[in-house]
Structure 1
């Protein structure tokens, strides 16, 4: 009976993960489709290459320890599935176990190395856009840096994440002619987070 219950629970968890991934991808197609009539992340004009940045915070950590919880490990697997579906070609992480652990499943699945960065800056952001022109880049940061990075990429204000918010997904598409940006959610919901509410999801308005 215990084995049967365990098997049913595993199947339910897999179904939930698949459903979560499908919902997230559907949201990306629908919302990004309203911004651009071309297919998702397609390069419509080769002379004006668009670089797509995905910015997330590390997954759930174990208290003050530098490692992920079981929930965090599950989130890292969901991120890996999203990253493969969106064809992530470069991955950047700070040099901590919780950030590297968040993107390791994707790096393994994609056969891509994890590149380490330190303090994010405007110059660093500009160098990424130049170095990875036309590619899809994932950057994982912390509660006090992921929103800052997304804000710099979107040419807007620095964005805030709550201390217990782990499901924010920032998508910023940068080209010479325009910048498009969104704030979405992925994986299990951080409903308790003060800033994780529907009113703060959607298009990010770039600075004028």
Structure 2
């Protein structure tokens, strides 16, 4: 009887976790300069490649970015690997509207969706919070290697922060 209950519990957990959306949140990779819409630097291009490798087994079916080229360039290797079209989300209405729009789009996806969001140091923590991960820490301007993985189940969000690519150090 105990084995039957244990097997039932394991099956329920497996089914429940299979129904959770998985959302990966990263900031764009290192930029070439301080212009308004820069391309990626050499280090940024390497980080975009590292993101592709980090996402190789995740199989994202949706990729959202801002309309700025540094976010798209960061996402492109991953999008190419998984044959996914990048969906830029504009800043019409400001950063708060951008964050809300991304959260709304993610929440509208199927329960088993895998999503990559590439944003900015000032939007990624806000997007994580908008998706229910209240523990999301602010991101300093010098941090590029943080990857936040969220599992969304209804209104609940469970998160884990990892690092990818070359470590970044902030003064």
Structure 2 length as normaliser, TM-score?
A: 0.79
* Alignment coverage as a number of residue pairs: 152
- Which of 111, 118, 136 matches 1:140? 118
Distance 1:98 1:52 in 2: 23
Distance 1:177 1:117 in 2: 23
Distance 2:55 2:63 in 1: 10
Distance 1:47 1:160 in 2: 28
Distance 2:70 2:155 in 1: 36
Measured at CA, do residues 132 and 71 of structure 1 come closer, stay the same or move farther in structure 2, by a change above 3 Å?
farther
In the TM superposition, 1:21-36 aligns within 5 A as none
Contact 1:58 1:142 in 2 (8 A): yes
Higher RCO (CA 8 Å, separation ≥ 6 residues) = 2
Distance 1:121 1:163 in 2: 18
Structure with bigger helix share is: 1
Structure 1 length as normaliser, TM-score?
A: 0.66
Contact 2:22 2:114 in 1 (8 A): yes
> How big is each residue's C-alpha offset from its partner over 1:45-94, in whole Å with a ceiling of 9 and x where there is no partner?
26982000000000000121311000100000110112221111110011
Distance 2:144 2:113 in 1: 25
**Equivalence for 1:154:** 132
Distance 2:17 2:33 in 1: 47
**Equivalence for 1:109:** 81
Q: How many Å apart are 1:131 and its aligned residue?
A: 1.6
Distance 2:102 2:120 in 1: 17
> How big is each residue's C-alpha offset from its partner over 1:131-188, in whole Å with a ceiling of 9 and x where there is no partner?
2420110000011111111122234155311111100111110012742101221111
CA RMSD of aligned residues (A): 2.3
Q: How many Å apart are 1:124 and its aligned residue?
A: 4.2
Measured at CA, do residues 49 and 177 of structure 1 come closer, stay the same or move farther in structure 2, by a change above 3 Å?
farther
Q: Please tell me whether residue 73 in structure 1 is matched to residue 45 in structure 2.
A: yes
**Equivalence for 2:5:** none
Distance 1:97 1:127 in 2: 20
Distance 1:48 1:90 in 2: 17
SS of the residue corresponding to residue 84 of structure 1 reads: coil
In the TM superposition, 1:156-175 aligns within 5 A as 156=134, 159-175=137-153
Measured at CA, do residues 76 and 130 of structure 1 come closer, stay the same or move farther in structure 2, by a change above 3 Å?
same
In the TM superposition, 1:188-203 aligns within 5 A as 188-191=166-169, 193=170
Structure 1 unaligned runs (5+)?
A: 1-37, 195-208
**Equivalence for 1:51:** 21
